[in-house]
Amino acid sequence: MPPVRTLPKGTALLLGGGDDDALLALLCERLSPHAGPVEVVTTAATRSPVKTGRAYVDGLLELGCGRAQHLRVDEHNPADRPATLRRLHRAGAVFFTGGDQERITEHWLHTPALEVLRHRFHHDPAFVLAGTSAGASVVSASMIVAGHGARSLTKGGMHTAPGFGLLPQMIVDQHFAERGRFGRLAHAVLQHPAAIGLGLGQETGVIVEGGRHLRVFGDGVVMVVDGRQVRNDNLGRIGRGEPVAGENLHVHLLVAGRRLDLRTRRVLPAETDETTDESARREVE
């Protein structure tokens, strides 16, 4: 089934990796007292998924989440199990941990579990979808799976693969500043100019509400790469290994509290800035 193109009613919490206490605290704050449990999904974990799941469940309970439990979807726990589908239908939130994002898509794409997740996210305004690192990257329709250093700015030096398509207007990259990933995100946006690139630094993330408004949280920087007005790219005229080119990429650096309208691509003042501006106007009057 192709990605849904209508705006979702649910909320997405996406973190660029690193210490995820701020993300988990936001997740607990977003849940209503009557919400279903948080389902912690460790499909991306390449080692000790049970230990990872248990640690996250304990952390969420300590932060005040009423209920949290580990949901395994992997080689030994297929995504079409009736018990798994029932749990996704009842969940108040689903949280994807970090690791290898291609493991997530390997076990979730084209499954009944993903269809349930997609339906909840698009139709339930109380539902929260959260992810850190690899778990944040999979929300894109096209997710970056390879690209390092200067080579990522050559044809064939950056690769994307199908993601969940839950927020199809985005391409999300993580560990962004720490691992020097601007080149590969810019290249991905040149390939998919209708999408907006989000480079999430560690301990830094975004809250996306209703698929329309984005707000930054955390200690670092989110880089926004907007390719909607790109022109004169050379992707269709160069061979493998040759450098890519394009003009008129728009780049923004956003820190905690800054907001972005995903429809107009306009950066909005932080709420504190709006309050300050309003106070200044009153003083002038």
- The answer to whether residue 273 is domain-embedded is no
φ, ψ for residue 165, nearest 5 deg: 70, 25
| pLDDT value at 47 more than 70 | yes
Those residues with Cβ within 8 angstroms of residue 144's Cβ, 6 or more apart along the chain or in another chain: 137, 158, 159, 160, 171, 173, 181, 184, 185, 188
281 versus 205: which is more confidently predicted?
205
State which residues form the domain around 141. Answer: 11-265
- The answer to whether residue 271 is domain-embedded is no
- The answer to whether residue 4 is domain-embedded is no
- The answer to whether residue 199 is domain-embedded is yes
Q: In what order do the strands lie in the sheet with 213-218?
A: 68-71, 38-41, 93-96, 128-132, 11-15, 204-209, 213-218, 259-261, 266-268
What integer pLDDT is reported at residue 106 of this predicted model? 97
Query: What is the rounded average pLDDT for all residues in the chain?
Result: 92
pLDDT digits (tens, 9 = 90+) for 153-190: 999 999 999 999 999 889 999 999 999 999 999 999 99
CATH number of the domain to which 77 belongs: 3.40.50.880
Query: What domain count does the chain have?
Result: 1
- The answer to whether residue 200 is domain-embedded is yes
- The answer to whether residue 280 is domain-embedded is no
- What is the pTM for the complete model shown? 0.90
Asked if residue 95 lies in contact with residue 27, where contact means CB atoms within 8 angstroms, the answer is yes
H-helix segments, the chain:
21-30, 49-62, 82-90, 101-108, 112-123, 134-137, 182-191, 271-284
| pLDDT value at 232 more than 90 | yes
- The answer to whether residue 113 is domain-embedded is yes
- The answer to whether residue 2 is domain-embedded is no
